[in-house]
Amino acid sequence: MELATVGFSAIILAFMHGCHYLAPQLRPTTRKLLEVCYYNPATGNYGKGPDDIYLVFYWIVMFTFLRATAVDYIFMPFARRGGISAKKDLVRFAEQAWLLVYYSIFWTLGMVCSLDVFNIGRLANRGIALVQPANVG
């Protein structure tokens, strides 16, 4: 990673948050960057629409910042301390460490969300068998 990636994404994030929190007159516009739009109070759900692209842009910049920061300031020094000195090996270690952290967090989050959505206990209480018994005999 280059330090320019960390700096550039940090500047964009600081600008977005600065405009939102320091300039209240801009909040109707900057709110789209930081909050999910299209709330339907009747159903309690959110819809989708063209303004969702602003939130997607925000999270692209945020994850770029998180990745670049973790690679440059956590994983690269950790690899150097572990005795890795070749640039190619440092980059490979840092990228693999980022993938381990990223997938560990989001796999776990996905499992928690899927267990909540597909509540196994609720299905079992309704008499729906998750595993069909084998015919023995």
Domain boundaries, the chain: 3-125
Q: Are 95 and 72 in contact (CB under 8 A)?
A: no
Nearest to 75 by CA among 99, 42, 49: 99
Per-residue pLDDT of 65-120, as tens digits, reads: 999 999 999 999 999 999 999 999 999 999 999 999 999 999 988 887 777 665 55
What does R_g of the chain's alpha carbons equal in angstroms? 22
Question: Rounded to 5 degrees, what are φ and ψ at 79?
Answer: -65, -40
- pTM equals 0.73
Per-residue pLDDT of 25-79, as tens digits, reads: 999 999 999 888 888 889 888 888 999 999 999 999 999 999 999 999 999 999 9
Residue 133 DSSP label: P
* Placement of tokens 């960390």 in the chain: 6
Grade residue 136 by pLDDT with cuts at 50, 70 and 90.
very low
